Amino acid sequence: AQKITQTQPGMFVQEKEAVTLDCTYDTSDQSYGLFWYKQPSSGEMIFLIYQGSYDEQNATEGRYSLNFQKARKSANLVISASQLGDSAMYFCAMRAGMNTGFQKLVFGTGTRLLVSP
C-alpha cells in the first residue's frame, strides 16, 4: 500500500525567503509519480509540480522545485522567494503504477504555509 507522510502541520516563512515543505512516501512500486498541490482559502486544488520516479533531474516549475531523494523516499517541495499569495495548504500526493489502471492519488495530511510580510 502507498502512504504519504507530511510531518509539518504548519510552517511560517517571511516574504521573499525560501521554504521547504517535507514529504516522505512509502511504496513497493518501482514506477510512481509524485505531485504537489496547493489549496488556497478559496478551496480549489491547484497542481504545482510533478516528479516521476524515473526522472533523473529534480522537477522545477518557476519558483517551485521538488527535491527528490529516491533512496530516502522523500519529495520535498521548495518554494523560493515566498510571496504573500503562497499562503495556503499544500498537499503531497503519489500515484503508483504509471501504466496500469491504478490512477488514484494518495495524499498526505497537508502542511499549512503562512507567509508574513
Partner 1 sequence: EAGVTQFPSHSVIEKGQTVTLRCDPISGHDNLYWYRRVMGKEIKFLLHFVKESKQDESGMPNNRFLAERTGGTYSTLKVQPAELEDSGVYFCASSPGRLGTLSSSYEQYFGPGTRLTVT
Q: Which residues contact 31 (CB under 8 A, 6 or more apart)?
A: 53, 54, 96, 97, 98, 99
Q: Which of 69, 80, 103, 116 binds partner 1 (CB under 8 A)?
A: 103
| Listed ranges 11-19, 20-28, 71-79, 90-98: which one lies at the site for partner 1 (CB under 8 A) | 90-98
The three cell numbers of residue 58 are 529534480
> Among residues 8, 29, 63, 98, which is the contact residue for partner 1, using CB under 8 A?
98
| Listed ranges 12-20, 23-31, 36-44, 65-73: which one lies at the site for partner 1 (CB under 8 A) | 36-44
Collect all residues with Cβ–Cβ distance below 8 Å to 108 and sequence separation of at least 6.
4, 5, 6, 23, 91, 92, 93
Among 12, 109, 114, 116, binds partner 1 (CB under 8 A): 109
First to last CA, the chain: 41
DSSP H/E element including 63: none
User: Which residue lies nearer to partner 1 by CB, 8 or 52?
Assistant: 52
- Asked if residue 67 lies in contact with residue 58, where contact means CB atoms within 8 angstroms, the answer is yes
Q: Please identify which residue in 28, 41, 57, 100 interacts with partner 1, judged by CB under 8 A.
A: 100
Which spans of this chain sit near partner 1 (rule: CB under 8 A)? Answer: 4, 33, 35, 37, 42-47, 50, 52, 91, 93, 95, 98-110
